[in-house]
Structure 1
Amino acid sequence: METEKIPQEITTLVGREVYSKNGVFVGEVEDIRLDLERQTVTGLALHQLNNELFSSEARSARGVIIPYRWVQAVGDVVIVNDIVERLHQPDDETDEEEVPA
């Protein structure tokens, strides 16, 4: 017998701590960015940022938005790809940069 999935509201993500897959604290989910036309989550707005990971510009803003495609798992905490750990060393050739909120 196939188990039915119980839909969860996306608002349950708000307030969850975000960690890299290596266990480094990234921040806390403050809001969700949605694409209403496609009805998909496109990003997580984070605040309470890890000062060691983000530039002073990002820390002085309200927070950052990370692409939802970086999310690896959601449970009691949100686990994201370890690329977030490399944000403090921006590479001009990538489009994977922090976005001040």
Structure 2
Amino acid sequence: MDETPQEITSLVGREVYSNNGVFVGEVEDIRLDLDTEVVNGLAVGELNPDLFENYDTGRRGVIVPYRWVRAVGDVILINDVVERLKTTDDEESAVV
């Protein structure tokens, strides 16, 4: 396995899919906690209109908490966003 550190900016532009294979969007930016030097979210744009039709995302997109990320490779896999969106009590995601 290649242990070479990756630039955090290499995530920008990657497509994001749910673990069920549903296209979510494309990473436009990274949300960092500078105090702890930890990635805590992905700013996702170019959203799948079918997933976000009932949300006013405007032109900016959504922030996906980094703890939802399951794998990073040529694409980024996240926990099933469809189920997360259906849960009205879940305040982890933020439409920005």
TM norm structure 2: 0.89
Relative to structure 1, the CA distance from residue 4 to residue 89 in structure 2 (aligned partners, 3 Å threshold; closer, same or farther) is closer
CA contact (8 A) 1:20 1:80 kept: yes
Unaligned runs of 5+ in 1: none
- Equivalent residue runs for 1:7-22 within 5 Å: 7-22=5-20
Deviation at 1:56, TM superposition (A): 3.6
Structure 2 letter corresponding to 1:49: L
Q: Which protein is bigger by CA-based radius of gyration?
A: 1
- The alignment yields a C-alpha RMSD, in angstroms, of 1.7
Relative to structure 1, the CA distance from residue 35 to residue 80 in structure 2 (aligned partners, 3 Å threshold; closer, same or farther) is same
Secondary structure class of the residue paired with 2:36: coil
Figure out how many residues of one structure are paired with residues of the other and give that number: 95
Unaligned runs of 5+ in 2: none
Relative to structure 1, the CA distance from residue 4 to residue 88 in structure 2 (aligned partners, 3 Å threshold; closer, same or farther) is closer
For 2:74 and 2:12, locate their aligned partners in 1 and report how far apart those are by CA, in whole Å. 11
Q: Deviations over 1:22-54 (max 9, x none)?
A: 000000000000001100000000000011112
For 2:60 and 2:85, locate their aligned partners in 1 and report how far apart those are by CA, in whole Å. 17
Deviation at 1:88, TM superposition (A): 4.1
